[in-house]
Amino acid sequence: MSDGSSGQGGFGDSVTEVSSTGYFARIGQSLIGMLVGFVLVAGAIALIFWNEGRAVEAIRGLKQGAAVLVEAPANHVDPAQDGRLVHLTAPLAVGQPAEDPVLGIRHAGSVRLRREADMFQWVEHSQSESHTDIGGRKTTETTYTYRQEWSENPIDSTRFHLRDGHQNPQMAVRTATFDGHDATLGGRTLTSEVMPALTFFTPLSPPSTAHDGFVADGGQLYRGANPNAPAIGDIRVHYSAVPTGEVSMMAAQRGSTLVAFRSGEGYVIALAAPGAVPAADMLREKGQEESQLTWILRGVGFVGVLIGLLLVAAPLSTLASVIPFLGSIVGGGVFLLALGLAIPITLVTVGVAWLAVRPLLGGGLISGAIVAYVALRMLRPSPRRA
């Protein structure tokens, strides 16, 4: 008896595949998934712990930077401020403007030049529906749909389920950023460490022609037969630049150069903003960015723990799926159990990471984890007595 079978049919730019997996094969797959789940839970916990350490490092680094910060004059370099974190507002200039060597694009006064390229490509989309029969056999119907879309990243069509008629060419031009040479701010040379802080790009109008067969089409460069009817392999490019002008920057002064400031724990500070922006505002915005990143990674870690626990407990619902209705009930219970465990596990991990830095916060999070676990136990229905 075969545990797997498939059939397919379709037309145009879609194809449907029907596959089935037997009960014992599913049990074997769930046992393998259980091992993957243990690894995923461990990895997610490690991510959460690392993220909290990164957050602590950012808080300490920003506080240390604020403690040693000095205002630097805009028109000359003060040797007494060497090695300090300085904040200055001054004219940004560049000796040799940034240039795209591939397409030969160069714009006067561009300190940085960004090329954003995307290609018209085949994109594969899939949608699956599954149902379980009495006896535990699972049947899955997957429909693969192919559409032509613009994408900034090259899509490997060799991995498509249906490759014939859906080949994507190599993407010859990719998104990239180019820096000018001899950029200065208030008489200080900007090193490669601080150039990435200049992120305030403004759109540029392209020239009428460029290298490699590109021509102007509105506010973009285009390579293809007809921009109004794109074909697979057509590429469009948009340019933007960081212009010269008044800029506020926060970095370390080293002689007559500006480099990234590093705290005692290695946290890096190199900030820039267009116009006259106070140092306090720049530090506050950086702190908000770090806080947002911390919460995003916490969410990723929590989801990783939850998915890992679901994989660990998957054999239970798979065993019960010999009767589909029973399998659905067990599956719902498994999800609630995994959710109830993922919350305290995440809180305990965050709390342990913060105990050494902020004992009250760390202790509060651990206490919250205990409360969540106790609440889960109380909500669980008690077994009935005969």
Between 37-51, 114-128, 182-196, 354-368, the lowest mean confidence (pLDDT) is in 354-368
Q: For residue range 231-289, what is the model confidence (pLDDT) as tens digits? A: 999 999 999 999 999 999 999 999 999 999 999 888 999 999 999 999 999 999 999 99
Measured in degrees and rounded to the nearest 5, phi and psi for residue 62 equal: -65, -35
The string of pLDDT tens digits covering residues 104-120 is: 999 889 999 999 999 99
Q: pLDDT (tens digit, 9 = 90+) per residue, 28-64?
A: 988 999 999 999 999 999 999 999 989 989 999 999 9
